[in-house]
């Protein structure tokens, strides 16, 4: 097995292991260290890092555990990721968490915060209100205050002040991570045969599961190895996958799609790539983080920003990645995703861009139907483009 294959195998094992082995390793190396969990979509992990804590992205359990206890606490018609994330905690797999932050992305997540508060009285559970009026001239000031509030909580729990210097150093570390991930996506767009959709996904998802210092080193090594990969370009259609901003499709679902298409861009784990440029290091680092969230950032159905009409943003993503078509997915029971899907489909239709609409659930285990739909879609396009 070559080095790249080994790396991707290890990453798959990490992503699919609900015992969070990288976190446990970090705790073994940092006795008494504190872990800050955050739910989708975006959390400014730099703040936790600057407090000497390990930020951990909680993005559901995929199909790796059975949801039992959480179903007794959350209504059955709620998306799978909210339930499986709670199940991770109720089953003791997140016992190492000192703080859990759940941003106000949707009604289910906001309710989930209340459930966590009632379920884990000894854990500090916080909701984080990111602005839904992102274009307001007052949003940056407000969000700076909100980030400082979260910072105060982490200082209290961690027992260590967050200095501006420490926060700037953390921002620099995360800027490097964002730069490396942008490079991963450049490769996806320009030479998608060098990096499969599953592999690129593993590279992104693992960022939230291990210390960023380690992740940066890993990305640097992968980026060094990729150009030497002995693979040839194939005749496949180039698609954008949209709809993975919160609940994540199973890896096998991505594998089925990549068998028929090159996924040249996507919104999978968009929160880990939310800020699209470097966060400035000069000036007030709290404000710089807030300003970057609002003004140097991507888009998703759970953020309202009139400057970023989502259907237009999707068309731009398609144009800039040179895609020929789109797969517009939505997680089952995800209201923001399902509502946006209607707008996306209509905009794509108006622009004459072929697209496939589908629903998924993180715990799906059967993919024949998806495979058949995607293959039929891809073949019809190959025929049409020929």
Partner 1 sequence: MGTSAEEILGATRREGKRLMDLWWQEMTEAAQTGRPTAYVFAMGSMAELLRTFDFVLNFPEITSLQIAVRGQSQAYIQTAEDYGFSPDVCGYVKADVGLQLRQGEHPYGKVPRPSLVVTSNVCNTYIKWSEIWEHLYGCPVFVVDLPGWRGRDSADLDGETFHNDARYVLGQLQELIGLCEQVTGKRFDVDRFREHLAEANRMAELYHAVCETNRHVPAPFNAVVEGVTYQGIAHLYRGSPEGSRYFQQVLREMQERIRLGMAAVPDERFRLVLVGTTCYSHFRRFVELFASWGGVFVHSTYMVFAGGGFVPGFAYDLSRPLESFAERMVTAAYWGYTGSMFYQQDWLDDVVRRWHVDGICFHGVKSCRTVSTGLPDVREWMRVQRNVPGLFIQSDLVDPRLWSDAQVKNRVDAFFEALAAHKAARR
Span near partner 1 by CB under 8 A; candidates 190-198, 251-259, 327-335, 360-368? 327-335
Beta-bridge mates of residue 125 = 100
261 φ/ψ angles, rounded to the nearest 5 degrees:
-140, 165
Residue of 285, 14, 22 whose CA lies nearest to 144: 285
CB-CB contact of 106 with 302 (8 Å): yes
CB of 118 to partner 1, least distance (A): 5
CB of 8 to partner 1, least distance (A): 34
The DSSP call for residue 38 is E
Q: Alpha helices of 233-359 — where are they, by DSSP H?
A: 251-260, 285-295, 310-320, 335-351
Measuring CA to CA, how many Å separate 46 from each of 181, 238, 258, 268? 16, 34, 33, 21
Span near partner 1 by CB under 8 A; candidates 39-47, 107-115, 257-265, 269-277? 107-115
Rounded Cα distance, 12 and 161, in Å: 36
Q: Rank residues 136 and 163 by Cβ distance to partner 1 and give the closer one.
A: 136
CB of 134 to partner 1, least distance (A): 9
Measuring CA to CA, how many Å separate 31 from each of 19, 54, 94, 96, 196? 18, 12, 16, 12, 37
Instruction: Please state the separation of Cα 121 from the chain's center in Å.
Output: 28
- Residue among 149, 220, 229, 307 that touches partner 1 (CB under 8 A): 149
Based on the shown chain and the rule CB under 8 A, indicate whether residue 16 belongs to the binding site for partner 1. Answer: no
Based on the shown chain and the rule CB under 8 A, indicate whether residue 307 belongs to the binding site for partner 1. Answer: no
CB of 60 to partner 1, least distance (A): 15
Interaction mask 41-80, partner 1, x per CB under 8 A: -------------------------------xxxx-xx--
Q: Rank residues 3 and 107 by Cβ distance to partner 1 and give the closer one.
A: 107
- Residue among 13, 342, 350, 372 that touches partner 1 (CB under 8 A): 342
Contacts of 55 (CB under 8 A, 6+ apart): 35, 36, 38, 43, 45, 48, 49, 208
Rounded Cα distance, 262 and 209, in Å: 26
CB of 78 to partner 1, least distance (A): 5
124 φ/ψ angles, rounded to the nearest 5 degrees:
-85, 110
Q: In the block, which residue shows the tokens 């504190």?
A: 34
Q: Rank residues 255 and 345 by Cβ distance to partner 1 and give the closer one.
A: 345
CB-CB contact of 351 with 317 (8 Å): no
Rounded Cα distance, 104 and 110, in Å: 5
Based on the shown chain and the rule CB under 8 A, indicate whether residue 213 belongs to the binding site for partner 1. Answer: no
Based on the shown chain and the rule CB under 8 A, indicate whether residue 91 belongs to the binding site for partner 1. Answer: no
How many residues touch partner 1 under the rule CB under 8 A: the total is 56
**Rule CB under 8 A: which of 355-384 touch partner 1?**
359
Based on the shown chain and the rule CB under 8 A, indicate whether residue 350 belongs to the binding site for partner 1. Answer: no
CB-CB contact of 105 with 41 (8 Å): yes
CB of 11 to partner 1, least distance (A): 32
Interaction mask 283-302, partner 1, x per CB under 8 A: ------------------xx
- Residue among 336, 370, 378, 381 that touches partner 1 (CB under 8 A): 336
CB of 108 to partner 1, least distance (A): 4
55 φ/ψ angles, rounded to the nearest 5 degrees:
-80, 135
Q: Rank residues 95 and 141 by Cβ distance to partner 1 and give the closer one.
A: 141
Based on the shown chain and the rule CB under 8 A, indicate whether residue 146 belongs to the binding site for partner 1. Answer: yes
- Summarize as ranges the residues that interact with partner 1 (CB under 8 A): 72-75, 77-78, 82, 104-108, 110-115, 117-119, 125-127, 129, 131-133, 136-139, 141-142, 145-146, 149, 153, 301-302, 304, 306, 330, 332-333, 335-336, 338-343, 345-346, 359
């Amino acid at each position: 097995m070559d080095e790249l294959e080994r790396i991707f195998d290890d990453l798959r094992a990490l992503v699919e292991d609900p015992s969070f082995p990288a976190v446990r390793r970090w705790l073994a190396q940092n006795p008494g260290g504190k872990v800050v969990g955050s739910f989708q979509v975006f959390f400014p992990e730099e703040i936790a890092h600057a407090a000497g804590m390990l930020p951990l992205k909680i993005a559901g359990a995929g199909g790796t555990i059975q949801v039992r206890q959480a179903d007794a606490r959350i209504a059955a018609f709620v998306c799978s990721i909210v339930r499986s994330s709670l199940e991770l905690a109720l089953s003791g797999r997140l016992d190492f968490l000192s703080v859990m932050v759940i941003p106000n992305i949707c009604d289910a997540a906001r309710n989930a915060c209340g459930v966590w508060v009632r379920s884990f009285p000894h854990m500090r559970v916080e909701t984080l209100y990111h602005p839904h009026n992102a274009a307001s001239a007052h949003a940056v000031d407000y969000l700076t205050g909100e980030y400082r509030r979260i910072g105060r909580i982490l200082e209290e729990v961690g027992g260590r002040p967050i200095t501006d210097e420490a926060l700037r150093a953390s921002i620099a570390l995360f800027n490097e991570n964002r730069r490396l991930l942008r490079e991963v996506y450049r490769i996806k767009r320009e030479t998608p045969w060098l990096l499969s959709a599953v592999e690129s996904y593993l590279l992104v998802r693992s960022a939230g599961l291990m210390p960023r210092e380690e992740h940066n080193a890993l990305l640097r090594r992968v980026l060094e190895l990729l150009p030497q990969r002995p693979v040839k370009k194939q005749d496949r259609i180039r698609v954008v996958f949209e709809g993975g901003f919160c609940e994540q499709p199973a890896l096998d679902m991505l594998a089925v799609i990549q068998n028929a298409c090159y996924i040249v861009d996507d919104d999978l784990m968009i929160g880990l790539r939310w800020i699209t440029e470097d966060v400035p290091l000069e000036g007030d680092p709290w404000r710089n983080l807030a300003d970057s969230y609002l003004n140097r950032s991507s888009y998703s159905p759970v953020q309202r920003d009139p400057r970023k009409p989502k259907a237009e943003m999707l068309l731009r993503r398609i144009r800039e990645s040179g895609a020929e078509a789109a797969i517009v997915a939505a997680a089952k029971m995800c209201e923001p995703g399902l509502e946006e899907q209607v707008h996306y489909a209509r905009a794509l239709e108006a622009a004459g861009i072929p697209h496939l609409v589908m629903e998924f659930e993180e715990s799906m285990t059967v993919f024949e139907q998806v495979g058949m739909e995607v293959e039929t879609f891809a073949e019809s396009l190959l025929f049409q483009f020929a």
